[in-house]
Amino acid sequence: MKTWRRHTLSGYSWLMLVFLYLPIAILMLYSFNDSRINAVWSGFTWKWYISLFENRQVIQALTNSLTIGIISSVLATVLGTAASLAIKQYSLRWRTIVNGLVYLPIVIPEIMMGLAMLVLFSQIHMELGKATLIMAHVTFSMPYVMVIISARLAEMGGELEEAAQDLGATPWGTLRHVTLPLIMPGIVAGFLMSFTLSLDDFIISFFVAGPNSTTLPLYIYGLVKRGVSPEVNALSTLLIVCTVLLVIIAELFRRKDSKTITF
Amino acid sequence: MWLGALFVLPMLLIVVLSFLKRGTYGQVVYEFTLNNYFRILDPLYGQIFWDTFVVAILTTVFSILFGYPLAYYISRLERTKQQIWLLLVMIPFWINFLVRSYAWVIILRSQGVVNTILQSLGLITEPLPLLYNSGSVLLGMVYTLVPFMVLPIYVSLEQMDRRKLEAAADLGATPWKAFWHITLPMTKSGVVTGSILVFVSSIGMFIVPDVMGGAKSALIGNVIQNQFLSARDWPFGSALSIVLMLLSMLLILLYFRATKASETKEGAA
């Protein structure tokens, strides 16, 4: 009786995994399908990938995505780390308030954030383009960096820093030689996470991108709207592979000598 | 601070904007008006708001039904296996919403995978209309948002005191009874957190209805997006999004209250 219950549950869970992955797998599989319109399998081909790399717009979108991703995640990581270190010094009451503020962008509907940014940029007469995209991406990924790093800081406690200061280290020295190395896995994970978020973001970018700053997801949207072409499958597959690799690497860094699962 | 400048300020701007007028060429005219809010009272928008909330609530309910058993299963595994399963659940969550909804288009469209298989098996002669209806929107929503439910429920299951279950078993409770009276109430906070995450994400969602829903199943997210990008009526778009925010906050508050109330009742009994 106990075993059948366990089997049902595990069977169900495997089914859920299939449900989560099957559509993605099918999408990836069909990026190698020779047929243009039909779902019928008509042979393996690389041609959609080849035509992608010959497409100037795709290369442009890719370059935009990478530039924006790198710049915004460096900024988000630096600002996020600094902010987490600062928050740690605050009194409990301030910390609660600031932490609430940090979680807000994570829980608010993305569309609202996109709109709000669009309105802000238009009110200060800032032309939509790479700069606005970078600012927006920093804003939505910084909270994630802060959550990861604050968790790491809390887990670490303050004893090592106190010890360093007792031994005569300057505050700057403590930060450089003690705190930063200790939270390094968190910093790297935060960086990779913001890079993933930036590379992947569609909704917010949709509102703040200018005509010459199309990113990969925006380009994919254009293709999806124009009708189904196997090139979309190929491009989506590339995006999926990049995302999955980045997430796994980020996870490995985050779990490095951290024993707790913080999801 | 950065968040203040680029997050709080723009939110306030939207509030201000919602009381202003739209000029003839889509610009914003700085004149106070309440018209944007009166316009929302039109039954047309009422219907769209209603549809949006129905979809969001159904998405939340289905996510609980589908997500809870999975989270429960993961929490019962050994540590290393838990980590692998959690990562497996998280990975789709990181993959682009747009790409994931589009994957369903390949499967469900009239020349898609399902219809092709059914036709080649000779079960149907005409393709079934699987896409571009409210069912496909709901499917897409649950599919993209269910990881949001699994993770918080897993966390609360993980933090639960298992000794209470042993005690219940010692006192003669069947596993089902123990689950119903102990596990479920004790993991309510995870369910509440997950529900809020799923609900909030689905009310603002415009990608899934845009890609999988077709013209008839537009939700409020699509309307807002339209007001900003096509109709260029920013004040009205702002008013719509503020009403959406307020209504959803109200619903979340009610949900919080309801679950809190039943918790205290449980405690008293």
**Contact criterion met (CB < 8 Å) for B96 and A251:** no
**Per-residue pLDDT, B268:** 44
Q: Give the CA distances from residue B47 to residues A236, B27, B137, in Å, rounded to whole numbers and listed in that order.
A: 35, 28, 17
Q: Is A257 helix (H, G, I), strand (E, B) or coil?
A: coil
- pLDDT category at B269 given cuts 50, 70, 90 is very low
**Nearest Cβ partner for A224 among B102, B197, B228:** B102
pTM of this prediction?
A: 0.83
Greater pLDDT, A117 or B2: A117
Q: Give the CA distances from residue A32 to residues A41, A43, A242, B110, in Å, rounded to whole numbers and listed in that order.
A: 9, 8, 18, 20
**Contact criterion met (CB < 8 Å) for A26 and B107:** yes
**What residues does B28 pair with on adjacent strands?**
B22
DSSP state of A63: H
Residues B8-58: tens digit of each pLDDT: 777 777 777 777 776 666 666 666 777 778 788 888 888 888 988 999 999
**Per-residue pLDDT, B2:** 61
**Per-residue pLDDT, B5:** 62
User: Look-up: residue for tokens 């948002």?
Assistant: B145
Q: What phi, psi does B125 have (nearest 5°)?
A: -105, -35
Q: Is the pLDDT of residue A37 over 80?
A: no
> What percent of chain B clears pLDDT 70, i.e. is strictly above it?
89
Helix ranges restricted to H, A124-229: 130-156, 159-166, 171-174, 180-200, 203-208, 216-226
Cβ neighbours of A224 in B, within 8 Å: 98, 102, 105, 211
Non-local (6+) Cβ contacts of B242 within 8 A are B14, B15, B18
- pLDDT category at B223 given cuts 50, 70, 90 is confident
Q: Give the CA distances from residue A77 to residues A83, A158, A183, B162, in Å, rounded to whole numbers and listed in that order.
A: 10, 22, 12, 39
Instruction: Please name the helix (run of DSSP H) or strand (run of DSSP E) that holds residue B239, with its range, or none.
Output: helix B234-268
Cβ neighbours of A120 in B, within 8 Å: 6, 9-10, 13
**Per-residue pLDDT, B267:** 46
d(CA B179, CA B170): 14
A vs B, Cβ pairs < 8 A, gives: 199
d(CA A76, CA A190): 9
Q: At what angle do helices B188-203 and B234-268 cross, to 10 degrees?
A: 170
**Contact criterion met (CB < 8 Å) for A138 and B2:** yes
**Contact criterion met (CB < 8 Å) for B1 and A83:** yes
Q: What phi, psi does A33 have (nearest 5°)?
A: -85, 135
Minimal CA separation from A38 to chain B, in Å: 6
**Per-residue pLDDT, B261:** 65
**Contact criterion met (CB < 8 Å) for B9 and A120:** yes
